[in-house]
Structure formats: structure tokens, C-alpha cells
Amino acid sequence: MTGRWRAAGALFGALALIAVTGCSAEPGVTPTGDVTEVTVTVQGMHFIPDVIEVPAGDELVITFENTGTDMHDLVLATGLETGHLAPGESHVMEVGVISADIDGWCSVGNHRAMGMELTVQVIE
Ligand SMILES: [Cu+2]
């Protein structure tokens, strides 16, 4: 069973990566070749930080650590998601080259309405 889950996870990851590669190469943004790495944690019903500033053209890698006491996830408007993470678990998300602002939120229960939102913000 565990093996099957892993295989499914690997397949999903591969598909997600293809989706990112396919969508993020927008014309008008020259990839800088730099990577912005950010660690996002949970405090109560908030993401810390809740604004992630990324230079246009940088690749973004988010490490989401569930430092809260409930189940949480991180979903991006691009369709990427970490999947549900129990307290203490973490997940690395390769968002790809950033060319526009992206909203993010927690999809568990009503957490988004309670404040679990963040924004990836492009800076020049
Ligand atoms: Cu949550």
C-alpha cells in the first residue's frame, strides 16, 4: 500500500512539474537564472510570511513547514499544492519562473476564510 502511494505521489509530482514548465514560460519575462528560496511556516491560522517577494524572472522554491497544531496545506492559484500535511511535516514546492503575482491559501476546512492566505509578489 505504501509503495503504491509513493508511486502515485511520484507520478503526481512529475505531472505537476510538467504543468509548471508549461505554464511559467510566459513571454516578456527573461529568466534570471537565480532561485528565490523561501520557507513558509504556520502560526495559528496564518502563513509566515504571508507576502513572498520574488524578483521577476527568478525561479521560486517554497519549503512549506507545518509548524502549526492542525492539518494544513498550501495551494497556489497556478494549481500547485503540497497536499495535506500533518503537524511537523514539510513539503518542497517548485513553483517555477515567476512572471506574475500568485495567490496562495490553505484548502483545509475554512482555514482560508480564517486568514490562511498568502501572496507571491513580483518585484523588479
Ligand atoms: Cu490550514
Evaluate if residue 2 carries a pLDDT over 60. no
Number of domains observed in the structure of the chain: 1
If you measure from the C-alpha of residue 102 to the centroid of ligand 1, how many angstroms do you get, rounded to a whole number?
Answer: 18
State the distance between the two ends of the chain, measured CA to CA, in whole angstroms. Answer: 47
Structural contact between residues 76 and 98, judged by C-beta atoms closer than 8 angstroms:
no
Alpha carbon of 30 to ligand 1 centroid (Å)? 34
Query: What CATH number corresponds to the domain at position 28?
Result: 2.60.40.420
pLDDT, one tens digit per residue, over 37-88 is 999 999 999 999 999 999 999 999 999 999 999 999 999 999 999 999 999 9
Residue 53: its H or E element: strand 51-55
pLDDT over 90 at 90, yes or no? yes
For residue 1, pLDDT over 50 is answered with: no
Threshold 0.85, pTM exceeds: no
Ligand 1 centre and the CA of 113: distance in Å?
A: 10
Q: Which of 78, 106, 73, 102 is nearest to 90 (CA)?
A: 73
Range of the domain at 9: 2-123
Write out the three cell numbers for 86: 500533518
d(CA 1, CA 25): 37
